[in-house]
Amino acid sequence: MENGVCIRPMPMRRTNLDTGETQIIPVPCGATLASKCPPCAERARRLRMAQCKTGWHLDDEPVPDPDPPTDDAKALATLRADLEAARADVLAAGDTGQAGEIDELIGQIDDELAALGVRGKAAPDNRDRPRRVRSTRRRQDAPDLPRLPVDRRTVGRTFTAADGTVWRPSMFLTLTCDTYGHVHKDGTPVDPASYDYRRAARDAIHFPKLIDRFWQNLRRAVGWDVQYFAALEPQKRLAPHLHAAIRGTVPRAMLRLVAAATYHQVWWPSADQPVYDDHRQPAWNDTAGGYVDPDTGTPLLSWDDALDGIGEDDEPAHVVRFGPQLRADGVTANTATTGRMIGYLTKYLTKSLDACHDIASDPQRRHVDRLADALRHEPCSPTCANWLRYGIQPRNTRPGLVPGRCKGKIHRRETLGFGGRRVLVSRRWSGKTLTDHRHDRVAFIRAQLETLGAVGTGPAAPDGESDPARMVWQLLRPGDPAAPRREHLLLHAVAQRHAWRAQLDAARAAAGGGLLPATGPPLPDAA
């Protein structure tokens, strides 16, 4: 770990198709958690830091407008519309066979449109399932929001100081969930009996939907395409906590209004009163093709029928909201505050959610156990096995489902109910993917070597040295006679890292020991 190499390298066989030469190369495992591989997790965190810094204080739009559609795309779109109309006609005539043939042609055209770079789908994959429409009327207990046309602008406005200095600030935003009961300083509830663990579990499960709705409302309220780089972590009370870097500035009063007016309604069947317990559970019946009551043999209510039973006057099964705690700080580019904020934003990315805070006391352990027990029996999705506990068959039901043993990520203890991505980045944040940022770091080292009059090897080798298309990579499975021992892979990786470092140091020494200007990522992380 002191050398920054992966402790769980994967042996890969690289074959040169021109010469037939083969070589066994240790490839990093790419883990993002320090519990699995600290060097790879730290490297991934540094990459996220570079991604955050790149897009936070941009002066120009990172992504140009999309190219206009080509003649081929227009022709395919016209043909796609004609086939859709023809499909409707043959279905009206009752000819399902010809409709199937048209569906095959439509699928081919959709593939061709995707190959041309056209995003989205003209029709859903499941045409037979009717689309359920819920009322879009805002709740009466939520304040109204202004609604403006959203411009394609993603760069924040500039401000001019009294001395004529022009600066373009950005913001650091913190959002959290509502309270579920009074807690001590260590995050444990004052009264565990009155602490609402069920609502805490449901808020954690549906928190990603609430975040998406917040960004939608914010963009509509301010009238421009707000971009963000956000990371999720738990508070000491184990509730989801979101930190976000926002490009540009938004008035704090507007942020508080949008947070108060943002909510997400979960239109699921009621899961408040369990019908079955661990000692009496529904049984699978092959004849019925689903689960039945263990005593009467009556089939359980299907998922679609349960949704159809939700009337227009019924309340949603759950409503997720933000808590009153909101903090928004202004940040300017190239300051010490910016670096501290980026470090704080990515502080816990190498840890699982349950390891972000030390659980050292018995009350803290019992608090985690109670939340984990609530998450164990809470439905996480329409296909969750826990619906059987409430007398409802999950969508796409199958034999072998056991309530309380759903394999969904949400029910794991280390996720604390959050099954989404830990890092949330808007589409137009930096205009680059993580792979692009990784290549930028390699290009930085390559540029350093070229300036010093040296030629890089390994990842920093010139592009023209070997054609990647003429190289074949194959993962060596356990038990492969050619797979070297793990110790040999580690020694090879350490020697390789030392050789690359010596190469850069020698090039610097030959150039007189001069240092190049810091125009890219730090050298220890780019090698």
Q: What is the pLDDT of residue 455?
A: 65
Contact 271, 375 (CB under 8 A): no
Arithmetic mean of pLDDT over the chain: 86
pLDDT for residue 43? 92
* Domain end marker among 398, 425, 452: 425
272 and 131, same structural domain?
A: no
Neighbours of 12 (CB within 10 A): 14
DSSP calls for 140-164 = TTS--------BS--SPPPEE-TTS
Rounded to 5 degrees, what angle do the CA atoms 233, 426, 460 make?
90
Kindly state whether residues 91 and 209 are assigned to the same domain.
Answer: no
pLDDT of residue 522: 45
User: 328 pLDDT exceeds 70?
Assistant: yes
**Percentage of the chain lying above the pLDDT 90 cut:** 45
Q: How confident is the model at residue 254 (pLDDT cuts 50, 70, 90)?
A: very high
Is 520 within a domain? no
Domain span at 74? 68-140
Report residue 519's pLDDT band, with 50, 70 and 90 as the boundaries.
Answer: very low
Q: For the chain, what is the domain count?
A: 3
Residue 2 lies in a domain: no
Q: Is residue 178 part of a domain?
A: yes
Please work out, in degrees rounded to the nearest 5, the angle formed at the alpha carbon of residue 425 by the alpha carbons of 348 and 264.
Answer: 90
Kindly state the average pLDDT of the residues 146-158.
89
Residue 127: is its pLDDT beyond 80?
Answer: no
In a domain, 521, yes or no: no
Tell me the average pLDDT across 234-262.
94
Q: Are residues 41 and 81 in the same domain?
A: no
Query: Which tokens sit at 168?
Result: 């373009």
Answer yes or no: do 89 and 164 share one domain: no
So what's the pLDDT on residue 473? Answer: 86
- How does DSSP classify residue 15? E
Residue 166's pLDDT band (boundaries 50, 70, 90)? confident
Compute the distance between CA of residue 18 and CA of residue 14 in angstroms, rounded to an integer.
12
Last residue of a domain, one of 393, 425, 457: 425
Binned at pLDDT 50, 70 and 90, residue 358 comes out as: confident
Q: Tens digits of per-residue pLDDT, 493-503?
A: 888 888 878 87
User: Which range is most confident: 4-8, 75-79, 223-227, 496-500?
Assistant: 223-227
Q: What is the pLDDT of residue 524?
A: 40
Residue 518 falls inside a structural domain: no
One domain, residues 100 and 179: no
Count H helices, E strands: the chain? 11, 13
Query: Which percentage of the chain shows pLDDT scores above 70?
Result: 90
Q: Is residue 413 part of a domain?
A: yes
Residues 210 and 273 in one domain: yes
Would the CA dihedral through 61, 67, 68, 74 be positive or negative? Answer: negative
Residues 98 and 19 grouped into a single domain: no
> Does residue 153 lie in a domain region?
no
Last residue of a domain, one of 381, 396, 425: 425
Q: Same domain for 116 and 72?
A: yes
Residues 246 and 373 in one domain: yes
Q: What DSSP line would sit under 52-91, residue for residue? A: HHHHHT-SS-SSPPPPPPPHHHHHHHHHHHHHHHHHHHHH
The CA-CA-CA angle for residues 141, 149, 256, to 5°, reads 40
- pLDDT 10s digits, 193-216: 999 999 999 999 999 999 999 999
Indicate if 355 and 418 belong to the same structural domain.
yes
Whether 477 is covered by a domain: the verdict is yes
Strands 170-177 and 166-167: unpaired
Does the pLDDT value for residue 379 go beyond 90? yes
Same domain, 358 and 489: no
> Alpha helices of 468-522 — where are they, by DSSP H?
486-510
Q: Is the model's pLDDT at 53 over the cut of 90?
A: yes
- Both 352 and 493 in one domain: the answer is no
